Each structure stands twice: as structure tokens, then as C-alpha cells.
Amino acid sequence: MACGWAAAQSTGDSTSSQVSVPANPPAPANPPAGKISKKSRKASKKHIASPRLRRMRQAFVASASLKPMARQLLQDRSPAAYSGVEAFALAHARDDAGALAWLVVGYGRILDHDYAKAIDPLSHAKPRAGELEDYVAYDLGYAYLETGHLAEAIAVLNGFEKTYPDSLLIRDAQLAYVNALLAEGRGQEGIAALEAVRQPVRADFELALGRCYAAAGDTTKAAATLQHIYLSMPLSPEAGQAEAELKKLSAATVVPAPAVNDLRMRADLLARGKRFTEAAHEYAALLDQSSPADRPLIQLAMASALRHAGQNREAKQVLESIPNTPAEINAERLFNLAEIARTSNDDAEFLRLLDQLRQAAPASSWLEQALLSAANIYLLRRDFDHAIDCFRELAQRFPNGSHAPYAHWKAAWLTLRQGRNADAKAAFEQQIALYPASGEVPAALYWRARLAEEDNDPAMAQAYYQKLSSRFRNYYYGDLARQRLSKIPAAPAVQQYALLDRVPPLDSVKVTADLLPADNLRIQKAQLLENGALLDFSVRELRGAAEQDKGNWLPAETARLYRDAGRFDIAIEVLKRAAPNYFAVDLPNLPRAYWEGLFPKPYWGDLTKFAAANALDPYLVASLIRQESEFNTNAVSRANAVGLMQLLPKTAKKVAKEVKMKHFNAAQLFTPAINLQLGSRYFRAMVDKFGAFEYALAAYNAGSDRVQEWQQQAHYRDPQEFVESIPFTETREYVQAILRNANVYRQLYGAP
């Protein structure tokens, strides 16, 4: 049966904006745990500390007590915080620790945009800055520039690259130097300075260079440079400034018009950057300049941008005005019209356009996308037979497409939900055979084993569960498989199933983390900057050190730095990038430092206290927080959910009243203890309402009304079947991830 109708739905809100996190008490800068390479062992033995290294180590020890004060200053920048760090600087006036404190004060003033007040502390820092002198010089030069002290800025920044040849700030200093020259009208000198260091290209460098050419009277090169920014870097902040500079040039001289292809490039880049309204405007401006052959493509791009910007009526008008075009262009046109019909809930029009797509472009990727939309909308409407038809058609027409494994799985799963168990068994096995490396294989293994249990075939169930547990150990379904195995009588001998051999083995490569090289000047510099809570600078130095050393210590050390500063969210993201498949790795194959960074236990006293008060597993609460905010106390979502457990102020106010919390206000949700108290109580209420953690977690993400609706619409074998049946992909993956991660917490830390 042919399918018809459309569209996937996005729901939930697991992405949150991130702002500064209150600092935790300082932790010692210990090296990360992990295996020690021979290279690091030898390096630590054979090098004798140089005078520069000894000086930095002395400064590091002397400045250890500065760290909490510096964090407080850079977080709050309150008068009291400034006074505390200044007092430290005065008490250490004769050593490098005092210079670091003055640098922190000066940098704080720069963050405040109070550049005049930055000059004095940075001047105090300069005589004893030692290895941090490049940071002091750059900030001082920048402060002079911003306050109009151009001669002083030029004096400090001129020759920076020669004075500090190893500095990571050379290009930033060169840019500030050129801007000071430019402000003095010395554009020709600025050109000479920038042309020598123009690569790799940076938008801010190009803007300064364009301004220098304009100041020097070379309008041709000025226009070319500024147009380069405007056309090829439209997503940069400098693009708008370049446009303003071009308008100034146009008022004084003739500026050549950009080529049509370059204008098209700008529009395309804006569209890729999801700045759809601007992209649509650029495409519209191109129409009059385009050739008849190119015009349909530009109209199509314009209509797509308008549709993504929510301007469906305007998009439809453009699409309907496109004349007869080649098949692939027409396929994209039909797809866009179908998406407009879908969002307008015009079922008949969507079906008509879907049929047109089938006839006009049966092998087009646009039909592939339209079939996915159709299948998902049927799924959301619980019209499972039509959804099966659409998913099946998608998988059959496009067996090598990116959506094929998912489409095949959804058809198989919905077949089970329709009660056609024999067909579901065959489909699950086919999923494993056709797509053995796909993300849907764990679910196929688990539910095929469940059906074997229902058929009273414990040997088959055991074999599938064991494969699932060993190959996908830390996955959601891996843990469920172990739970099921514990309830099945062990078979006398494990049955062999050739199908299971098709699942590729786990990559057994072990990740190691070397000890930090003890004699690396950049690492010592990074640790000294860390004592000043200058995290961005510290990370920059660590990366520079890693480029020199070529060791594999960087991810764990960077994560440690952020974790010690209370930025658990950034630490988690650093390690996710370093080990993207961490959840598929056995615990011994990843350093302990990675695991503890990926699954931290901050605010553990309050967390366990409020978890216990609400009869909750603290690891489940920790896993929920990890999914919601990654332990960013200041996280605020698009929906205005706040803090660790991402509570809406309205919900929190209601819960605060239940626990008799007096004088509650929404700002208190940024306080970890209060957020944990109210969040744990709210989650407990969800558990009490729905009776199982799976339902409660789904309600926490998608809302209790939706979960009640899903419960009322169908009967489920158990909560696990409910989870796999959740129609919103985000919510389904959210629930599975939290339960999976709670299991990892238990494996790592044992009984709470």
C-alpha cells in the first residue's frame, strides 16, 4: 500500500545557553590519571629544570592561594573582589605571584570595558611579570589603544613578535598594533605590518587591512579586501562593518560591483549559517542579475530560505512562479511545496505533491526526505499501517540512503506494535543482517531476544542478550540485556547463531592519558595562568604545549582545568570530543580521568541529601542533571528552564510552596542547593504520578500531558516497550540516555 502524508516533529528542549558558573573551592592541580607512556617517564627523568622553569614553579606555588580570589573577581567583578586581589598583589609586591594578581585585576577591568582603570594594575604587573609578560604587554597595549593613548599603545605593541617570539598572542598583538597605527592615520605602515602576516585569513585582520588601504588612499585594494569579507565571510561580525566601510568608499569613489557568482556565494553561506531571512533578501536581489538558466535555481534557493524563515506564503508564491525545470530542480520544488502543505495541515495537497514526486523523480533524494516526513506524521497520528508503508517504501527505494537503517527499523518496530510478531521477528533479523553497524542494531537484538523469550526459547534469548551485553556494554539496551539474562535459566551450552557474527566487534583500542611533561614551559605557564583563573589563556597554552609535545595528555588535563574551575559542562564536552564513542567502551579501555570527567559528581552532598529525601537513586538524579544541564548551574534553556535540573520558574514556584520554602524567587534557581531541592521533589512527583522512572523521565522532558496521552493510546508490555514507542525522537533518546548513564555511574562509583 502506498503511503501519503508528511513530516517529522521536533520536541523537547535539551539545549541550553551557558553562562559563567560560580567557582567551587580550588582543587590541587594534579595530573590526570591514566597510563604513563615511556616517553613521559623518560622526559621527567632526564631534564634538569631551567632557571625559567624554576621561576615559574616558584610563582605557581606562591600564587596557589590567589586562585579562589581570582575566580571570584573574574566571576563577579565586585569592589570587594577587586580589593581582595589587589591586597594579595600588594602583599606579594616583590615576586611574580604579585604580578599575576595585578594581571588578573587588569584583565577584570578590561572585561568591564573600564580600560582606563586597567592601565595602572597592568603597569604594576609588568616589572615582575616573568613568563607572563606577553599577556601583560598585550593587555596593556590594548588598554592604551581603547583609551586613545595611541603613542603608548604603539610603543608597547611594536615589535611584539620579536620581544616575545614564543607567545601565542602574536597575531592578536599585531592586530592591536595596526589598529593603533590606523587611528593615528598611519595606514601605509599598517599595510606593511598586516600583509606580512595575512595567512591564515582572519576576518578581523582583513577588516583592519581594508581600512588601512582606504586610509592610504588605495581604494581599489580597500574595496577588494572589504568585499572579500562581505562576500566570503558573511557570518562574521566583521561582515557588517565591512559593508559600512564599503558604503563610505562608494560615497567617495566608484567601487566595482561584485560578480554575480560572489553574491550567490554570500547568499548560500548565509543560508548554510541558518540566517534565512538575510539569505532570502540576498537571493531576491540576485534575480534581476541572473541569467535565464540560473534564475530557477536562485528562485528555488530563495523559496527554501523563505520557508525556513517561516514565510510560507511568500515561499509558495516563489515556488509556483518557477517555470518548467529539469527533473532534479522540479523535485526540490515539489518537496518544498509539500513541506509548506504539511506545516499548513493540508493533507490532500501534501498527498498530491507526494504522488507527483513519485512520478517525476522516483530516485531523487527529495522523495526520500518527503517519505520520511510522511512516515513520521503517520507515526505521530498513530496510523501505524500507513507509517509502516512509508518507512518500508523509503527503505526499499533508497536502501543505501542515510535514512534506510532507521526507516527499516521503524517499520519492523511498528510491525511488532501491531501485534504481527512473526513478521517482526523476520524484520528484526533482517535489520541485523542488512545494517549490522547501524545504531538500531542494539534495539533489534534486544527485541528479537524478547520475542524468543515469549516463544519459550531461552537458548536463543540468552545468545542474543549475551551478544548485546558484550558488544554494547554501556548502551541502554546492554544494561537491559543483563537484567533479562539474570532471570533466564542458563542454557547447558550457548547456541551459535551465524547472524550474530555479522555485528562488527567493538573497537578494542585503548585510550591512554600520559602524565604531563614535567619540563614543558607552556604547561607550567598554563598552570600559572590557572592560578589567576585565566582559563581561556591557560587552555590556549595547553594546546600550544600539546602541539609541541605530541602527547595524549591534553583532553584529560583540559577537562581537569575546567572541572576544577566548576565548569563541569565544558569538561564533559571536551572529553566527549576526545572519545566520541565512550559509551560503547569498556571501563578499563578509557582512563579513569576520562570517566570521572564525563560522569562527575559535583554538589554531591546536596544531591544525595535531596535524592534520599525523595527516595531517589542519586545516580539517576545525577544522570538527569547531566542530560539537562551538564552540571552548569547557570544554564538557561530556550524555554527559560533554569539551572542544574532545568526547572521552569512557574513550576519551581509551585514546588517551593509545597515544601514551604519562604520568599522564593526565580533567581534562587541558580543556587545549586535550591535547584536540587526543588528539582528532586518535582521529579519524585512525576515518579509518583506515573509509577515508573521511564514514564517520569519522559514527562520531565516532554510534559506529563503528553505521557498520559501516550499511555492512554496503547497497551505496552512494560516500560521498556513504552520507551521504544515514544514518537518524539528527542524524548526517546533522552530517556534511554539517562537510564544508560545512571548505569555507568553505578559501575564507576559503586554504591552511593
Could you give the residue numbers annotated as active site? 628
- What DSSP character marks residue 291? -
State the sign of the Cα–Cα–Cα–Cα dihedral 430, 432, 434, 435: positive
User: Going by DSSP bridges, is the β-strand pair 16-17/636-637 parallel, antiparallel, or unpaired?
Assistant: antiparallel
What gap in Å lies between CA 633 and CA 341, rounded to an integer? 42
Within 10 A of 311 (CB to CB), how many other CB atoms are there? Answer: 17
What gap in Å lies between CA 430 and CA 463, rounded to an integer? 17
In the chain the first and final C-alpha atoms are separated, in Å, by 54
For residue 16, the SS3 value is strand
Q: What phi and psi, each to the nearest 5 degrees, are found at residue 451?
A: -65, -35
Quick one: residue 114, left, alpha or beta (phi over 0 = left, psi -120 to 50 = alpha)?
A: beta
Given the C-alpha cell 595606514, which residue does it identify?
187
For residue 647, the SS3 value is strand
Contact 229, 207 (CB under 8 A): yes
Cell of 671: 543556587
The three-state DSSP-derived secondary structure of 619-646 is HHHHHHHHHHCCCCCCCEECCCCECCCC
State the DSSP H helix or E strand holding residue 702, giving kind and residue range, or none if neither: helix 693-702
Nearest to 3 by CA among 339, 320, 377, 554: 377
Residue 334 sits at the vertex; the CA angle it makes with 328 and 339, to the nearest 5 degrees, is 130
Contact 133, 100 (CB under 8 A): no
CA 462 to mean position of chain CA atoms: 38
